[in-house]
Amino acid sequence: MSSPSSPKPSRVKVREHRKRKREQGLRPVQIWAPDVRSAAFRMEAHRQSAAVAASAQAFDDQAFIDAVSARGDERGDE
């Protein structure tokens, strides 16, 4: 009877996983995104939303956001 094999190291498992994904036609992509938990992000988001709300085009801006945010089943075209 053979002895049980030791578990694969993480780097081997990651390499095999990436190989399988590439065989499926995928490729890895890394992106950097703002940290939405930071105080600086919250302050900037608040500043921008206040500027939009105070804009002379606030009504049209909100209508645009509502239009592009509509779900497909609410438009009646499905």
Query: Residue 70 has what pLDDT?
Result: 79
pLDDT the model gives residue 78: 47
Helical axes 58-69 vs 39-53, angle rounded to 10°: 120
Q: Encode the chain (78 residues) as per-residue pLDDT tens digits.
A: 555 688 999 999 999 999 999 999 999 999 999 999 999 999 999 999 999 899 999 999 889 989 999 776 555 554
Helix (H) or strand (E) holding 1: none
Whole-number pLDDT of residue 32? 95
Q: Among 22, 16, 23, which residue's Cα sits nearest to residue 8?
A: 16
Q: Is the pTM of this model over 0.75?
A: no
Place of tokens 């608040």: 46
| Cβ(18)–Cβ(28) below 8 Å | yes
- The identity of residue 66, as a single letter, is D
